Structure 1
Amino acid sequence: MSTAMAPAAGFAGKSGHKPKMASADRLLLAVSLVVPVLGLSLFFLYPLGLVAWRSLVGLDGSIGLGNYASVLASPGIRTATINSLWISALTTAVCVVLGFILAYALQRSSISGKGLVRASLALPLLAPSLVQALGLIFLLGRNGVVSQWTGWTIDIYGPVGLLIANVLYGLPQAVLIIEASLRHSDARYYDAAEVMGASHWQQFRDITLPNAKFGMLSAGFVVFTVTITDFGNAAVIGGDYRVLATEIYRQVVGQMNFGMGAVVGILLLIPTLVAVYIQRVASQRQFGGGSESAIPVQPSWLPARDLPLGMAVFAISLCMIVVVATVVLASFMFLWPYRMEFTLRNYVITLSGGYTPLWTSLLISLMAAGFGVVLLFLMAFAQKRLPPALARLLYFGAILPVGVPGLVLGLAYVLAFNVSDSVLGLLYGTTVIIALCNFYHYHSQGFLTMVTGMRSVPPALEESVTCLGGGLRCVLRDAILPFLTATTVSVFFFLFMRSMVTLSAVIFLFTPQVMPASVTVMRLDEAGFTLQAAAFSTCIMITVALAMLLMRVAMTYLGRKKAGA
């Protein structure tokens, strides 16, 4: 009897155990899917829908296309649209040309000092975009060192200054994309061309440029998107040159006309979405046909190429370093450029709450990075386990925020959360709402990085855990988390650093009690305290640089730990 009962008992144990594990696995998968999707719906899709709806609501409460008709009839907004398209297109052209020169020098030449070039490219990422404009004003403005020392009158305010500032801001992103396209080239093509007697110029014309064309196209549309939506440079150095970014600010903050502001936001959204779509197609064309067995190109020393290329590259890098270094130097001067004496008085800031905004930005950035990395991890985890049709739908929703400018998202948050008759209104004016806005502003980039890391987990490892009787929780704990630690750290610091320096996404959301550091820099400059604005910018740059250094240390430690394991 005991022999007969033993199998029965074993069978009962199995039947009672498996459903419990399956139920827990289903719950884990449901939470991983529902929580991020709910957040994306509530804090991105819903506010964006309100922008579209508010663009149809007139000042008298009527519903229709009256706001659109007013915009089309407004000479000022038409001028701002033309100006935005023109300055962004010109910035894009310059950035693609200079970006290709820098990327080619870094990947295909044997010039020395590449580390210095990469460091100069990192500088614009350490501070709000308006720092480039401040540096140009300190150098070339009416009271800049060039004007004072040479007597030349340089009108840096307007389209010329805005173009230079935008190029300095967008160039690093162009270099990163074009450099990636050059990195995927196969050395065997060049070896074959060499055997066939092709000259270096012919190899460049027939192999390098065709292989890099989609990368250059992708870089161009990224730069176009970044510059047409940037607010900081336009506000500081644009002068009377009207662009869509500043026009939204005037409509919403200056005139409290949310309907017209929503229409201008949609005008800004259309070219951005088109640019993002073309950039995505270009990226797929560039990397879709890449070969995993490609042999990297090993550059050789060619004096006729590398000497002039090195001079051009270091000239560009020097310009980027000088502009940012001038801001730092000016922050320590008594009265720039008339009394060039070292002082720390510019760091004694009492306007706009002193250094409270810096600590506020630290808190906001930690919150955005903290819950952001958790939500992105859950979404990438769920997306990998969904049926293909649902996985594609989730993927599309996750990358949708990349096409929405920060100004439009900030305006959407005002319309969605600045309400008194809703529970959502409790979030307005808090650090939480700004952290959420910053996170969803950079949601797409973080998600794509997390998905890439999720794909690197060996399927055989997950199958081994499953075969040993482990459920989805064991797969998550023993297979996925160890492989995604480095990716999670990089996404955390990415969200933190971008949240520290963004301006356009938060310009509508700050209050006197909750003011981010980037907004404080703009307010100090508007009040005429340009040296204090430089000092505050320097503090932001130091904070972000320390975060970048900490990320490198963490990534190095994780790399050594993985290698040791």
Structure 2
Amino acid sequence: MGRTLSGLVGALLALALILFVAVPLGAVLVKSIHLEAPLPPEEMRRVVLGALDRLTPEERATQLARWQQALDPRARMETTAATLEHLEQKVGWDRRGAFDEQIAAAKEAVAALDPALAVRFETEFPLQMVILHKRVPLAFRLQDRLDPPSFETLRSGTRPGFSFRLHAEFLSSPHLVKAAWNSVLVSAVTTVLAVTLAFALVYGLRRGVVPMPGAVRALILLPLVSPPVIMAFAAILLFGRQGLVTRHLLDSGLGLVEADTFNLYGFWGVVVAMVLSYLPHAAIVLDDVLARHGGPLEEAAASQGAGPGQIFRHVTLPLARPGILGAALVVFIQSMTDFGNPLVIGRGFPVLAGIVYTEITGFQNLALAAALCLWLILPGLVGYALFVKLGASRRFTTQASNARPPELPVPPMARRALRGTALVTALAVLLFYGVVLAGALTRVWGIDYTPTLDHFRLDPEFESSFARNLGLPLVWSSLEIAGMAAFLGGFVSLAIAYLAERSPLPGRQLLGLAAVLPGVVPGVLFGLGYLVAFNAPFGEKALSLSGGAAILVINILFANIYVGVLAGRATLQRLDRAIDDAAASLGASLAQTFWYVTLPLLGRVFVLATLYIFVHGMVTLSGVMFLVSPDHMLASVGILMHAEGGRYGIACAMTVAIMLIVLVVLALLRLAAARPGLAMVAWPGAGPGPAIGRA
């Protein structure tokens, strides 16, 4: 019975991972090369002839005569040219000339035909007229008499095929190539600055030279609980054309600059926004490495006469090398796929992710967007290959028992530099989030600074807050969707981890691999995959998930379960299998063992997985940008739309609401973890582990 249940659960989870992970990712690849190619002229002629044959002779004659009488002179000229070409007669006028001249020339060409050709011309002309101008009306007239593939072929005049034309178009388009190089450039600069800054901050925190370390840690991590475009948004409020600093201080106040020309829009604005957005990602990776730092090694180097600079270059940096490379990879990939910050503050600085967004929302060109998404992940794959190669070239091993900071004093100059860096970074984060709070309480930023609470109003009749469609109620919509995804995702991630580690099912490792796959692909690619795969699954519109809440919940769930799966597998690998065997020997089924034995032991992992999905569900943008609808909108998307439209007060109010909700949830979990006897609600940051995760 246990094995049967295990197999059934495993099969259901495998089916879910295939449908909601493998199929969307595969759909993007197929969409980029599965193109609708125009039918060749002779094949098009056969298709139209076959359709006309489905009309009765009376219908055909009547309809063709009506359409032919309704032709305007330009359409008649184009049909004449097509008919002559079909009859292998030279079109003797300039097809690029003025239409009046072409129309006159077409009449002369028809009048000059010999009698035999004239008869053939009169016979062929109606058919070419339908091919050029009346094919779509004919298709809909015959829709109930044609099977769906035949109807679609007649309507579109194309047939499905495979081609790398869009990939070649990317390589040959100066605009797209420039955007790609812009993406690489801004990502590289962001990576260098963010990793350098994160290393300085974490190093100072670990060495104990930064005052108020708890507050500094909290500020470093604060961007994790806010939508990703907030930094660009705050930069505009401070340093934009109507910015508090550029317009009111440097321009109007001191007269030093022209705010219309001296502002943060463009390349450096994108860099500043991205550095502050992805600083916490780099800090978490680096802190995990520096937490296991071999302090005695530095002390041994000092005992051999090495100076502080030599110790840092030859001991500290080599030991931190894996963390530096890992942090660089994470920041680079995140920056490459970020379209929100460039969209808000880039203004004339195109990046590839932004073009993907434009192709989907502006032109509905899913095929080109899919092709660009595949090129978008190429630099990340190259970066990963370099990470593996560089990481394998030099390896160092330190014992866990020696994982402590060195007791060597930090040189005074370095101490002052580290403290100054921490102070400036903390003040910058405070300034950026402070201006967001101020914007939420200001009537019109840059014009009318009158304090107001109007942006927090929930009255649906208060149109200026967009409360009916795009205002504060979207926060509650995000809360519902993220909450559902988090609750389900916590159990799903632990079930996958348990089956991958403890079940005897064949292919269980593939189950675990499929679950972590969304963690290594850009969110924009995963979201586009859902748009392509579930708009009309298997060609059936009735099965479409587009525009509903379900597709948002499923996307958020499967895009983020990899954290819980990895954490669950790591924990299970440290737990003795004898615990499960003992439960089984006492007659417990697989479900009972999982629920009463394994799940309580994985309480911390369950909370971590649920919390991670919830937080990301509240602030995610790239993965859900193409899946929202007027009936099911998310707050993070609404914030981007308001920021683009200059409605800064509403965007600020929504941001403040999201951050308050996330922080309240975190605080409640910490309080719950402090109560005795609550094994299932353990605070992920409590106890031993990276200090950067604890404020």
TM-score, reference length from structure 1:
0.89
Aligned-residue offset at 1:451: 1.7
Distance verdict in 2 for CA 1:144–1:89, change over 3 Å: same
Aligned-residue offset at 1:92: 0.5
* Residue of structure 1 in register with 2:657 after alignment: 539
* Residue of structure 1 in register with 2:477 after alignment: 360
Matched, 1:483 2:601: yes
* Residue of structure 2 in register with 1:48 after alignment: 25
Q: Could you say which structure has the greater relative contact order, defined with CA pairs below 8 angstroms and 6 or more residues apart?
A: 1
Instruction: Encode CA deviations 1:79-113: one digit per residue, 9 max, x unaligned.
Output: 11111111101111111111110110111233321
Give the 5 Å matches for 1:129-208.
Answer: 129-147=228-246, 148-151=248-251, 152=257, 153=259, 154-208=262-316
Aligned-residue offset at 1:444: 2.2
Matched, 1:343 2:447: no
Aligned-residue offset at 1:470: 4.3
Q: Which deviates further from its counterpart, 38-47 or 436-445?
A: 436-445
User: How far, CA to CA, are the matches of 1:379 and 1:323 in structure 2?
Assistant: 40
Contact 1:121–1:317 under 8 Å retained in 2: yes
User: How far, CA to CA, are the matches of 1:105 and 1:534 in structure 2?
Assistant: 32
Contact 1:59–1:259 under 8 Å retained in 2: no
1:296 partner letter: R
Q: Give SS of 1:382's match.
A: helix
Q: Among residues 254, 261, 271, which one is paired with 2:379 in the alignment?
A: 271
User: How far, CA to CA, are the matches of 2:173 and 2:595 in structure 1?
Assistant: 59
* Residue of structure 2 in register with 1:378 after alignment: 495
Give the 5 Å matches for 1:276-425.
Answer: 276=384, 289-297=397-405, 299=407, 302=410, 304=412, 305-348=414-457, 349-350=465-466, 352-386=469-503, 390-419=507-536, 421-422=539-540, 425=543
1:335 partner letter: V
Q: Which deviates further from its counterpart, 179-188 or 25-34?
A: 25-34
Q: Which deviates further from its counterpart, 291-300 or 254-263?
A: 291-300
Instruction: Encode CA deviations 1:234-293: one digit per residue, 9 max, x unaligned.
Output: 111111111111111111221111111111111112223444565578789999945343
Distance verdict in 2 for CA 1:552–1:423, change over 3 Å: farther
Distance verdict in 2 for CA 1:200–1:389, change over 3 Å: farther
User: How far, CA to CA, are the matches of 1:315 and 1:155 in structure 2?
Assistant: 21
* Residue of structure 2 in register with 1:12 after alignment: none
Matched, 1:30 2:7: yes
User: How far, CA to CA, are the matches of 1:113 and 1:363 in structure 2?
Assistant: 36
2:432 partner letter: V
2:341 partner letter: N
Q: Among residues 320, 327, 332, which one is paired with 1:212 in the alignment?
A: 320
Distance verdict in 2 for CA 1:474–1:419, change over 3 Å: closer
* Residue of structure 2 in register with 1:512 after alignment: 630
1:33 partner letter: G
Contact 1:366–1:496 under 8 Å retained in 2: yes
User: How far, CA to CA, are the matches of 2:640 and 2:473 in structure 1?
Assistant: 15
Contact 2:482–2:613 under 8 Å retained in 1: yes
1:499 partner letter: G
User: How far, CA to CA, are the matches of 1:283 and 1:331 in structure 2?
Assistant: 46
Distance verdict in 2 for CA 1:162–1:416, change over 3 Å: same
For the pair shown, which has the larger CA radius of gyration, 1 or 2? 2
Aligned-residue offset at 1:233: 0.6
User: How far, CA to CA, are the matches of 1:381 and 1:133 in structure 2?
Assistant: 41
Q: Which deviates further from its counterpart, 280-289 or 187-196?
A: 280-289
Q: Among residues 234, 249, 256, which one is paired with 2:342 in the alignment?
A: 234
Distance verdict in 2 for CA 1:531–1:481, change over 3 Å: same
User: How far, CA to CA, are the matches of 1:251 and 1:59 in structure 2?
Assistant: 17
Contact 2:564–2:605 under 8 Å retained in 1: no
Instruction: Encode CA deviations 1:484-513: one digit per residue, 9 max, x unaligned.
Output: 112101110110000100110111011111
Q: Which deviates further from its counterpart, 382-391 or 29-38?
A: 382-391
Aligned-residue offset at 1:335: 2.9
* Residue of structure 1 in register with 2:58 after alignment: none
Between the aligned residues of both structures, percent identity stands at 30
* Residue of structure 1 in register with 2:366 after alignment: 258
User: How far, CA to CA, are the matches of 1:447 and 1:483 in structure 2?
Assistant: 15
* Residue of structure 2 in register with 1:10 after alignment: none
User: How far, CA to CA, are the matches of 2:20 and 2:303 in structure 1?
Assistant: 58
Distance verdict in 2 for CA 1:32–1:276, change over 3 Å: farther
User: How far, CA to CA, are the matches of 2:340 and 2:217 in structure 1?
Assistant: 24
Contact 1:406–1:504 under 8 Å retained in 2: yes
User: How far, CA to CA, are the matches of 2:376 and 2:617 in structure 1?
Assistant: 22
In structure 1, runs of 5+ residues without a counterpart are 1-22
Aligned-residue offset at 1:390: 3.6
Aligned-residue offset at 1:331: 1.2
Matched, 1:492 2:610: yes
Distance verdict in 2 for CA 1:397–1:231, change over 3 Å: same
User: How far, CA to CA, are the matches of 2:388 and 2:667 in structure 1?
Assistant: 31
Aligned-residue offset at 1:316: 1.4
User: How far, CA to CA, are the matches of 2:430 and 2:470 in structure 1?
Assistant: 30
Q: Give SS of 1:341's match.
A: strand
User: How far, CA to CA, are the matches of 1:181 and 1:285 in structure 2?
Assistant: 18
Distance verdict in 2 for CA 1:322–1:232, change over 3 Å: same
User: How far, CA to CA, are the matches of 2:384 and 2:492 in structure 1?
Assistant: 23
Distance verdict in 2 for CA 1:160–1:116, change over 3 Å: same
User: How far, CA to CA, are the matches of 1:117 and 1:538 in structure 2?
Assistant: 20
User: How far, CA to CA, are the matches of 1:419 and 1:288 in structure 2?
Assistant: 52
Distance verdict in 2 for CA 1:484–1:427, change over 3 Å: same
Cα RMSD (Å) of the superposition?
2.6
Number of residues of Structure 1 aligned to a counterpart in Structure 2: 540
Contact 2:472–2:653 under 8 Å retained in 1: no
User: How far, CA to CA, are the matches of 1:136 and 1:500 in structure 2?
Assistant: 22
Distance verdict in 2 for CA 1:104–1:120, change over 3 Å: same
Aligned-residue offset at 1:313: 1.3
Distance verdict in 2 for CA 1:475–1:399, change over 3 Å: same
User: How far, CA to CA, are the matches of 1:543 and 1:274 in structure 2?
Assistant: 38
* Residue of structure 2 in register with 1:530 after alignment: 648
Aligned-residue offset at 1:561: 5.2
User: How far, CA to CA, are the matches of 1:389 and 1:183 in structure 2?
Assistant: 38
User: How far, CA to CA, are the matches of 1:124 and 1:287 in structure 2?
Assistant: 32
User: How far, CA to CA, are the matches of 2:390 and 2:401 in structure 1?
Assistant: 22
* Residue of structure 1 in register with 2:117 after alignment: none
Q: Give SS of 1:475's match.
A: helix
Q: Which deviates further from its counterpart, 413-422 or 402-411?
A: 413-422
Distance verdict in 2 for CA 1:284–1:169, change over 3 Å: farther
User: How far, CA to CA, are the matches of 1:285 and 1:479 in structure 2?
Assistant: 43
Aligned-residue offset at 1:391: 4.4
* Residue of structure 2 in register with 1:88 after alignment: 187
TM-score, reference length from structure 2:
0.73
Aligned-residue offset at 1:541: 1.3
Q: Give SS of 2:402's match.
A: coil
* Residue of structure 1 in register with 2:115 after alignment: none
Matched, 1:427 2:545: yes
Distance verdict in 2 for CA 1:383–1:406, change over 3 Å: same
Contact 2:564–2:606 under 8 Å retained in 1: no
Instruction: Encode CA deviations 1:51-77: one digit per residue, 9 max, x unaligned.
Output: 111111335344211111222222111
* Residue of structure 2 in register with 1:18 after alignment: none
Instruction: Encode CA deviations 1:441-465: one digit per residue, 9 max, x unaligned.
Output: 2232232122223234344433443
Q: Give SS of 2:449's match.
A: strand
Instruction: Encode CA deviations 1:362-415: one digit per residue, 9 max, x unaligned.
Output: 111012112211211111000112569844433332222122111111111111
